[in-house]
């Protein structure tokens, strides 16, 4: 019966198509996509730090998606109230700050559609950060940070697919 594999393929195909639909703002039900894990620490010896290291605090933020850390982490003085957009640049993290404070990264749309970049105006608003290295100092209260790429690749480690 060749009919079952054709309908299975069609079902898988429609699932793929649904997965590629642009996501609406409700991120509660969806499993997180690739994320950036930021560990902010009080000391500069944070290369081997984990979320349970004393003096360190863990933050998970989205990749390729505008966010406002003041909204994600209310009352946390480690973050500014400016919008942030993280992208991959080679094998590093490029973190860009925008003047907007409402999670829109205002000015970014014009950039992508080929218009002149509106914000940020100068390169001081974007930082290239290496992964899995202790970098800083940023501002208090936890001036040192380590950035780790979470998600796609990390989930598959140790899960061998069994071919039966």
pLDDT band at residue 26 under the 50/70/90 scheme: very low
pLDDT band at residue 6 under the 50/70/90 scheme: low
Whether 104 and 123 have beta carbons less than 8 Å apart is answered as no
pLDDT band at residue 33 under the 50/70/90 scheme: confident
In angstroms, rounded to a whole number, what is the distance separating the alpha carbons of residues 62 and 87?
9
User: What local confidence, expressed as pLDDT, does residue 14 receive?
Assistant: 58
CA 21, chain centre distance (Å): 19
User: What local confidence, expressed as pLDDT, does residue 40 receive?
Assistant: 95
Tens digit of each residue's pLDDT (9 = 90 or more) over 83-138 = 999 999 999 999 999 999 999 998 776 655 554 444 444 445 898 999 999 999 98
pLDDT of residue 60 exceeding 90: yes
Query: For the chain, what percent of residues have pLDDT higher than 90?
Result: 52
In angstroms, rounded to a whole number, what is the distance separating the alpha carbons of residues 4 and 6?
5
């Amino acid at each position: 019966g060749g009919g079952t594999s054709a309908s299975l393929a069609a079902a898988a195909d429609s699932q793929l198509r649904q997965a590629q639909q642009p996501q609406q703002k409700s991120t509660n039900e969806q499993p997180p996509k690739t994320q950036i894990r930021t560990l902010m620490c009080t000391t500069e010896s944070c290369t081997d730090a984990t979320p349970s290291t004393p003096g360190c605090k863990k933050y998970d933020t989205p990749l390729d998606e505008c966010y406002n850390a003041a909204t994600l982490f209310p009352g946390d003085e480690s973050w500014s109230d400016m919008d942030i957009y993280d992208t991959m640049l080679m094998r590093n993290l490029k973190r860009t700050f925008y003047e907007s404070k409402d999670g829109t990264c205002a000015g970014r749309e014009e950039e992508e559609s080929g218009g002149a970049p509106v914000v940020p105006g100068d390169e001081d608003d974007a930082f290239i950060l290496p992964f899995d290295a202790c970098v800083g100092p940023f501002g208090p209260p936890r001036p040192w940070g380590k950035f780790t790429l979470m998600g796609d690749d990390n989930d598959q480690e140790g899960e061998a697919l069994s071919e039966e």
